[in-house]
Amino acid sequence: MSSWRHFIESRRFGELAPIPKAICYALLALWSTIVLFPLYWVFVTSFKEPVDVAYPPKFLPFIDFQPSLHAWRYIFVDLGNDTFRPYANSLIVASVSTLLAVLIGSMAAYALSRIEYKPKLGSVISFILLLAAAIIAVVYWQVDWRLAVVVAVVIFLLLLRALGRHFKRHLGNGDILFWIISQRILPPVVAAIPIYVMFQHVGLLDTHAALIITYTTINLPIVVWLMFDFFAAIPRDLEESAQLDGASRYRIFLGIVLPLAKPGLIAASLLVLILAWNEYLLALFLSTARAQTIPLLVAAQNATRGPQWWYMSVLIIIMIAPVLALTIFLQKYIAKGLLLGAVKG
């Protein structure tokens, strides 16, 4: 009886008894298989000839089937440009939008963590109303959009003074932060058509610029959410002593604060990069030929190639390879960043 318990109850602190430990390893191995097998299958399939894809399924290269590079050759050589262009587009769009999102977002997060804002409710409401009026004017009455913007701005500035005196109620940093983060709830599909219309109006459809602007916008909230806690955790003494020495806010931000928040920046950048790299819906709406990104290329294969798994596999591999490599190196930072955001957030 007691020897049976010996296998189930742990003797030492922090150590598992043999049987629970074995179960633990078994379960972990099981999930590892679940994770790795699909990736392995894709990898292996990219080296298969069409005949090797038919039943029965073949698992091991050199043993079950002879690997061949025909799919790789086709995608890279035969389709050459058709493959490289979306790849380059994805690279450009993802990296530029990440850079912008991280820059603008961390500036905003830093400001929210250091400066107390008190935007008056009146001016916020009037800004919204004026923007709405301008949009309605452009759409309904075909007013030139540049004219509408100028008029709206002028009226806003005029109103600002008057409102400032009458409506004293203001919002705080918490409200601003909550509003920024809640932008994530907005489903992209709600914004897709209007954004499409807007870019078409301005002539930016199917360009890098359109995608970059859009991705920067939708990923800003994430950067703000993550970076806010990092900045809040940095003690102010360093900045205050720099201020006494005469440094401007910009210099303090770039030279002192950003280097200290490096883990958070890495986490945020990686997360945003991945989101931008994998983004599908908005790219679908906003680009057709020239600015096509890789997710679109992969999805489009469906129509032309249907179950041509070998080509699909190659495309999937080149799509996930860079992200995979980056992640393996920087995975620690993401965990820390996400945790910090979740604890305070």
Helix-helix angle 80-114:173-182, to 10 degrees: 160
Smallest separation (angstroms) from another protein to the CB of 147: 17
Handedness of CA 147, 150, 153, 158 (dihedral sign): negative
* Among the listed residues 163, 176, 177, the one whose alpha carbon sits nearest the alpha carbon of residue 120: 163
Residues that bind another protein (rule: CB under 8 A) add up to a total of 106
Of 271, 275, 243, nearest in space to 257 by CA: 243
CB under 8 Å to 127, separation ≥6 — which residues?
156
If one asks whether residue 21 binds another protein (CB under 8 A), the answer comes out as yes
Quick one: 79 or 153, whose CB is closer to another protein? 153
* Span near another protein by CB under 8 A; candidates 65-73, 76-84, 160-168, 217-225: 217-225
| Region 80-99 residues binding another protein, contact defined as CB under 8 A | none
Q: Which stretch binds another protein (CB under 8 A): 81-89, 150-158, 164-172, 320-328?
A: 320-328
What residues between 128 and 187 interact with another protein by CB under 8 A? 128, 131-132, 135-136, 139, 176, 179-180, 183-187
Determine if 238 is a binding residue for another protein (CB under 8 A).
no
Using CB under 8 A as the binding rule, the residues of this chain from 266 to 285 that contact another protein are: 274, 277-278, 280-281, 284-285
Residue among 238 and 299 whose Cβ is closer to another protein: 299
Within residues 43-82, the interface with another protein by CB under 8 A covers 45, 53-57, 59
Q: Which of 18, 38, 80, 255 binds another protein (CB under 8 A)?
A: 38
Binding to another protein (CB under 8 A) within 218-237 occurs at 220-221, 224
- Whose CA is closest to 90, among 274, 271, 269? 274
Residue 324 interacts with another protein (CB under 8 A): yes or no:
yes
Q: Which amino acid is at 160?
A: L
Q: In sequence order, what are the beta bridge partners of 181? A: none
Q: Per-residue DSSP letters for 232-262?
A: HHS-THHHHHHHHTT--HHHHIIIIIHHHTH
